[in-house]
Amino acid sequence: MKELMINIPVVAKQENELTEQEKALVEEAKAATYRSYSPYSKFSVGAAALLSDGTIVSGSNQENSAYPSGLCAERTTIFYANSKYPEKSVLMLCVAARDTEGKFTTRPIAPCGACRQVLVETETRYNQPMKIMLYGTEHTYFIHSARELLPVSFDSSFF
């Protein structure tokens, strides 16, 4: 038997350490939380994607009483980017959330498993890593690529 250790490097930055571009992406993701439709969970999530030409697109979680018919902010954003700008890769994705009291979360939240798989597929589609920013009021996490969020992922290499 062989035991494997999979380590994921994460950089944690304070707000004053963010670049102007990173700050702009955080603000877009935060603004998107206010467009969330989350009457059931009361947990508003927004995401913003920086595309290869500098365009920023955003999306929010959209819930539905017929669970699981809703969609997470990350997938809403990525699917919009891929359908509206199919020739542009996603360089960076930022995720922000407000809790059930309407306050931005102190700790960064991470994408669910389904979103992680979609993010990995998007990296594969464009053959380019997508930097992931996870916003929290105390610090923002930076992960080099979506694949690091899902290190043992399923992809087209299995076909």
Active site residues: 74
Q: How many helices (H) and strands (E) does the chain have?
A: 4, 6
Using DSSP's 3-state secondary structure scheme, residue 17 falls into helix
- Using alpha carbons, select from 155, 157, 135 the residue that is nearest to residue 27: 135
The answer to whether residues 141 and 93 touch, using CB atoms and an 8 Å cutoff, is no
Each residue of 117-141: b (16+ CB within 10 Å) or e?
bbbbbbbeebeebbbbbbbbeebbb
- Using alpha carbons, select from 12, 122, 108 the residue that is nearest to residue 77: 122
